[in-house]
Amino acid sequence: MRAAAISMPRLNKMPGMFFSASPKDSKEHSHSLLDDKKQKKRPKTFGMDVKTYLRSMIPHLESGMKSAKSKDILSAEEVMQWSQSLEKLLANQSQNVFGRFLKSEFSEENIEFWLACEDYKKTETDLLHNKAENIYKAFVHSDAVKQINIDFHTRESTAKKIKTPTPTSFDEAQKVIYSLMEKDSYPRFLKSNIYLNLLNDLQANTLK
């Protein structure tokens, strides 16, 4: 018994990571150690940079693509105007609905790139270089995670422009993608169930 009594104080003086006040404290301490290691050994890889950019700068189309949410903020009149032109479609709160349609066709990178370009044009001068590089890596580079469908000349031209970036560095590529959506995806969108069902539901609610 005397030996046990002597050993107890020694155990209490062991490092807290083995004998913490509570399991919660132990978990928090171990998590902080892991976080510190991750920060010290954070890999500066191409893939990680692009993933970070896509999470932080590209609108999360998936999070707002539910038609129920769209019905809360859209009117039948607004949705009817989408059929007038792609410009009308992209001019208001329609990107989530159109993005949902493009996602169903596995071409959501087009609207994401277009939106990224719109955001880029509003960027402060001292931040242009970093943002231009991220957009290029995410969408334009030949190994881009969400590579857009542009011709070789436009791809090369854009690569040169971002070396000394200006607010118009992506204008050429953005116009190509706009034209592609206008001629290809946009007409199909107007005939899709995503658009027609939304319009019908809004019109029915208007009549109530």
Q: Are 96 and 122 in contact, with CB atoms under 8 Å apart?
A: no
Q: Are 138 and 199 in contact, with CB atoms under 8 Å apart?
A: no
Q: Give the model confidence (pLDDT) of 152-200 as tens digits.
A: 999 999 999 999 999 999 999 999 999 999 999 999 999 999 999 999 9
Average pLDDT over residues 22-34: 51
Record the tokens describing residue 53, joined without a space: 């950019």
pLDDT band, very low/low/confident/very high, at 205 (cuts 50, 70, 90): confident
Q: Is 89 exposed, middle or buried (0-12, 13-18, 19+ CB in 10 A)?
A: buried
Residue linked to tokens 């880029």: 120
d(CA 94, CA 89): 6
Dihedral over alpha carbons 102, 105, 107, 111 (to 10 degrees): 0
Answer whether residue 70 shows pLDDT above 60: no
Record the tokens describing residue 20, joined without a space: 């913490």
